[in-house]
């Protein structure tokens, strides 16, 4: 009785130990995820402060230039246009970060014979260019508030606006100019110095806010004045109006938080993609603008894979704890041996199914990748390429919108896939007239179309759209080591024929109604891929460094070459392999167990069931059935490695040999207590736990 109690105590202690280990792992996993999230948030807060400091420095630059200009004009009276224009040109050259500087005189204040005079120097291709605003429009009309407000209110930051003369969104500091003399308070002109917000895009794209994160600038009135999606800027989008139109309560919380003119943060769901986002905001001093940092709370690939492994460890610890608990209750409640073994086997089988589900669900984890899920990500990538080109003194890249639609996919062999569909490109008239029309497929085996020719050409006011039909064979190395629970990515890498001239393909996002990868943009919604199910599709950019210049000297200066890739993720249908391969193996394992059950002796100590020769004949028959099925499986898989499902065959081979040996030893060796104990009961009880336990070990090895 004492030994029994001690053993029960040990079993209970081990159960508590493994359950505690699982609890600790859960705590560690949750804590690590929280730490990773907090690290992302801390980095976003730091980047928000850095952006505000950068923009404030640009603002201070304009104010310094304005003070200098006021001082110069108050000291000297400029009556000669050439002298004043030379001053503006010189000031522009001395301040290369400034976009424009100008002076707009009140009627007849510069010259009694000239009604309006407004010289303005702006930058074109990095060089100062002089223009006359009065020749473009009459700036004294009431609608041009940049001229009238400083005369009423004094020096001020204007609400950013689209400048007709500058042809860009301007952040402008305006101030009244008075006649010569320190005490002269008679306004004769309005001075303006401005900074194009377009020039900030390079800096904003460099912010470390993750692959999908981005920066936004709101004006004092709540209008979007800088955003990776230029349409929001061009359409004068107001954040509060947008929130009310969409009845978005979370965005209204952001609007109210921004209205307090204090630093803060708000969690919300982004309307365009439905992704959970965290928005940090901070006021930019002097201007009244607000800078927003938008980050998406998604794990990195490494963190997601680590989480997957931790979930497997947690489930294994819980399984082991439950196994010890069942043995403990077996001794305490006096369960039968077969009851205990059945429950233990079902627990192990349940753990295998849990790991299978974790493997199936792994594809649903979103990573921080270069997936082009919306216009924001695309614009950010384009800004990075422009900055990269400037850094390496290359030509500014050309971007050609390109679309793709997959009509049909057929897997010809394990590595070759036949894909057919349509392609199109949009070329801007004038700018792209010298470019060749066409697309190059990268890393394909062959083109099956007789001719790759344009199907249609559509002309509108400023664009030419060319479309093609294609049918190609994509050859990608693919080893389905997790068969039948595997997924694969099909990549279509596209490149422009003039890629050596800096031409880059970008996805034509406007051509798709939905961009959510789960909605399969660019794929036939009724597509049927035998044996597979389409999961998601998306565009992304893939970079490659070549160890050659292709005979062009300028290639040596290129840091990388970017290809547009259309990716289709597919998952193998489980039912087909389950019926074809798993059910026969389950039947063989049950028949093998039945043979094992028939080995025994009756009350008169005589052998019952099969004889030794019959056992050998039966196990040999099962072995040949398995070996034929295994050979057919290897012939169809074309994989030079051991696939997950193959381990089932290996385990059954071992089980067949062990059952045959057990039967022979039971018949011939009466002195082996382990075999002879209670009519060979121990091998019978251990058959399923050992077989399923070995299968669990293999499953963990492949999916961990």
Tokens of 655: 């089980």
Cβ atoms of 286 and 63 closer than 8 Å:
yes
The topology under which CATH files domain 576-703 is Methane Monooxygenase Hydroxylase; Chain G, domain 1 (1.20.58)
- The CATH superfamily holding the domain 76-200 is PAS domain (3.30.450.20)
Residue 615 or 172, more confident: 172
602 CB neighbour count, 10 Å cutoff: 10
State the pLDDT at residue 603. Answer: 47
Q: In terms of DSSP H, where are the helices of 95-229?
A: 145-153, 201-205
State the pLDDT at residue 167. Answer: 61
pLDDT-based confidence at residue 17 (cuts at 50, 70, 90): very high
What whole-number distance in Å separates Cα of residue 605 and Cα of residue 697?
39
Write the DSSP string, 70-120: HHHHHHS----HHHHHHHHHHHHHH-TT--EEEEEEPTTTSBTTBS---EE
State the pLDDT at residue 652. Answer: 94
State the pLDDT at residue 605. Answer: 46
Cβ atoms of 471 and 449 closer than 8 Å:
yes
- pTM exceeds 0.75, yes or no: no
pLDDT by residue (tens digit) across 598-650? 765 554 444 455 566 777 788 888 888 899 989 888 887 777 888 899 999 99
What is the rounded average pLDDT of the residues 689-699?
95
State the pLDDT at residue 1. Answer: 43
- In this prediction, what percent of the chain has a pLDDT beyond 90? 23
C-alpha dihedral sign at 389, 392, 393, 394:
negative
Tokens of 223: 């209008």
Cβ neighbours for 218, distance < 8 A, ≥ 6 positions apart: 224, 225, 239, 258, 289, 290, 291, 292
Write the DSSP string, 230-257: HHHHHTT-BHHHHHHHTT-HHHHHHHHH
Question: What HEC string does 495-524 produce?
Answer: ECCCHHHCEEEEECHHHCCCCCHHHCCCEC
Tell me how far CA of residue 132 lies from CA of 129, 138, 194, 357, 492, in angstroms.
Answer: 10, 11, 16, 70, 51
pLDDT for residue 283 is more than 50: yes
Please classify residue 331 by burial: count the beta carbons closer than 10 Å to its beta carbon, then call 0-12 exposed, 13-18 middle and 19+ buried: middle
pLDDT for residue 363 is more than 80: no
362 CB neighbour count, 10 Å cutoff: 17
Which residues, listed in sequence order, are joined to residue 465 by a DSSP beta bridge? Answer: 426, 458
Cβ atoms of 194 and 172 closer than 8 Å:
yes
Please classify residue 396 by burial: count the beta carbons closer than 10 Å to its beta carbon, then call 0-12 exposed, 13-18 middle and 19+ buried: exposed
pLDDT by residue (tens digit) across 296-353? 866 666 777 888 889 999 999 999 999 999 888 887 777 788 888 999 999 999 999 9
What whole-number distance in Å separates Cα of residue 207 and Cα of residue 51?
8
Which residues, listed in sequence order, are joined to residue 500 by a DSSP beta bridge? Answer: none
State the pLDDT at residue 4. Answer: 54
Tokens of 642: 């051991």
pLDDT for residue 181 is more than 70: no
**Run of H or E residues at 566:** strand 561-572
pLDDT for residue 90 is more than 80: yes
pLDDT by residue (tens digit) across 427-478? 998 888 888 888 888 877 665 555 567 788 898 888 899 999 988 888 888 8
Q: Which of 468, 92, 576, 49 is nearest to 281 (CA)?
A: 49
State the pLDDT at residue 368. Answer: 41
State the pLDDT at residue 367. Answer: 45
Give the position of tokens 């074309």: 638
Measured in degrees and rounded to the nearest 5, phi and psi for residue 283 equal -75, 140
What is the rounded average pLDDT of the residues 78-86?
84
CATH number of the 209-296 domain: 3.30.450.20
CATH of region 371-573, choose from 1.10.10.10, 3.40.47.10, 3.30.365.10, 2.70.170.10? 2.70.170.10
Q: Which of 178, 398, 384, 213 is nearest to 298 (CA)?
A: 213
Tell me how far CA of residue 126 lies from CA of 92, 100, 281, in angstroms.
Answer: 11, 11, 32
State the pLDDT at residue 555. Answer: 54
Antiparallel, parallel or unpaired: β 398-411 and 503-507: parallel
* Least confident interval from 266-270, 394-398, 564-568, 609-613: 609-613
- In this prediction, what percent of the chain has a pLDDT beyond 70? 87
State the pLDDT at residue 407. Answer: 93
Give the best-scoring range by mean pLDDT among 65-69, 84-88, 561-565: 84-88
pLDDT by residue (tens digit) across 221-258? 888 888 877 778 878 888 888 888 877 788 888 888 88
Q: Compute the mean pLDDT over every residue in the chain, rounded to the nearest whole number.
A: 83
What whole-number distance in Å separates Cα of residue 226 and Cα of residue 384?
16
Q: Which of 347, 488, 481, 368 is nearest to 416 (CA)?
A: 488
State the pLDDT at residue 314. Answer: 94
């Amino acid at each position: 009785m004492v030994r029994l109690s001690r053993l029960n105590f040990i079993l209970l202690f081990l159960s508590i130990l493994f359950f505690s280990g699982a609890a600790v792992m859960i705590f560690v996993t949750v804590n690590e995820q929280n730490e990773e999230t907090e690290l992302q948030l801390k980095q976003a807060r730091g980047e928000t402060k850095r952006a505000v400091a950068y923009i404030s420095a640009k603002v201070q630059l304009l104010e310094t230039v304005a003070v200098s200009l006021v001082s110069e004009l108050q000291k000297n009276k400029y009556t000669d246009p050439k002298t004043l224009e030379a001053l503006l040109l010189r000031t522009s050259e001395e301040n290369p970060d400034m976009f424009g500087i100008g002076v707009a005189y009140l009627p007849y204040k510069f010259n009694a014979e000239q009604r309006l005079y407004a010289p303005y120097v702006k930058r074109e291709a990095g060089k100062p260019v002089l223009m006359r605003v009065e020749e473009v429009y009459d700036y004294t009309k009431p609608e041009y508030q940049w001229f009238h407000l400083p005369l009423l209110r004094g020096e001020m930051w204007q609400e950013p606006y689209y400048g007709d003369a500058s042809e860009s969104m301007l952040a402008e500091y305006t101030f009244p100019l008075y006649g010569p003399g320190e005490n002269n308070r008679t306004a004769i002109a309005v001075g303006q110095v401005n900074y194009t917000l377009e020039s900030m895009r390079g800096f904003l794209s460099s912010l470390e806010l993750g692959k999908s994160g981005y920066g936004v600038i709101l004006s004092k009135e709540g209008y979007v004045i800088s955003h990776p999606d230029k349409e929001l800027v061009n359409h004068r989008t107001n954040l509060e109006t947008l929130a009310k139109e969409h009845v978005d309560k979370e965005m209204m919380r952001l609007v109210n938080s921004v209205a307090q003119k204090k630093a803060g943060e708000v969690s919300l769901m982004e309307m365009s993609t439905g992704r959970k986002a965290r928005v940090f905001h901070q006021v930019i001093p002097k201007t009244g603008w607000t800078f927003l940092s938008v980050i998406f709370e998604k794990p990195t690939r490494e963190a997601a894979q680590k989480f997957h492994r931790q979930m497997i460890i947690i489930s294994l610890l819980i399984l082991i704890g439950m196994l010890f608990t069942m043995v403990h209750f077996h001794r305490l409640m006096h369960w039968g041996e077969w009851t205990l073994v059945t429950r233990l086997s079902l627990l192990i089988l349940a753990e295998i199914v849990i790991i299978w589900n974790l493997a199936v669900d792994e594809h649903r984890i979103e990573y921080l990748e270069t997936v082009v899920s919306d216009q924001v990500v695309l614009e950010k990538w384009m800004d990075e390429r422009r900055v990269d080109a400037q850094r390496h003194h290359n030509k500014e890249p050309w971007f050609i919108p390109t679309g793709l639609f997959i009509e049909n996919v057929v897997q010809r062999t394990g590595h070759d896939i036949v894909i057919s569909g349509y392609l199109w490109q949009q070329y801007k008239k004038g700018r792209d007239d010298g470019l060749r029309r066409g697309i190059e497929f990268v890393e394909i085996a062959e083109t099956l179309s007789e001719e790759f020719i344009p199907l249609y050409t559509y002309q509108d006011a400023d664009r030419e759209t060319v479309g093609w039909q294609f049918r190609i064979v994509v050859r990608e190395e693919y080893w389905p080591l997790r068969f039948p629970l595997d997924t694969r990515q099909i990549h279509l890498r596209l490149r422009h024929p003039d890629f050596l001239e800096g031409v880059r393909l970008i996805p034509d996002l406007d051509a798709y109604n939905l961009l959510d990868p789960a909605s399969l943009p660019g794929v036939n919604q009724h597509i049927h891929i035998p044996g597979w199910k389409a999961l998601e599709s998306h565009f992304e950019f893939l970079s490659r460094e070549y160890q050659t210049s292709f005979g062009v000297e300028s290639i040596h200066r290129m840091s990388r070459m970017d290809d547009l890739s259309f990716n289709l993720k597919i998952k193998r249908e489980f039912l087909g392999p389950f019926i074809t391969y798993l059910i026969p193996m389950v039947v063989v394992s049950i028949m093998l167990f039945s043979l094992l059950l028939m080995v025994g002796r009756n009350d008169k100590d005589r052998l019952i069931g099969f004889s030794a020769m019959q056992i050998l004949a039966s196990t040999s028959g099962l072995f040949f059935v398995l070996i034929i099925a295994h050979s057919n499986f290897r012939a169809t898989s074309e994989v030079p490695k051991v696939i997950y499902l193959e381990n089932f065959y290996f385990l059954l081979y071992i089980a067949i040999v062990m059952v045959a040996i057990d039967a022979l030893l039971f018949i011939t060796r009466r002195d082996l207590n382990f075999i002879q104990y209670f009519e060979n009961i121990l091998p019978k009880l251990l058959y399923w736990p050992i077989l399923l336990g070995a299968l669990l070990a293999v499953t963990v090895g492949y999916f961990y």
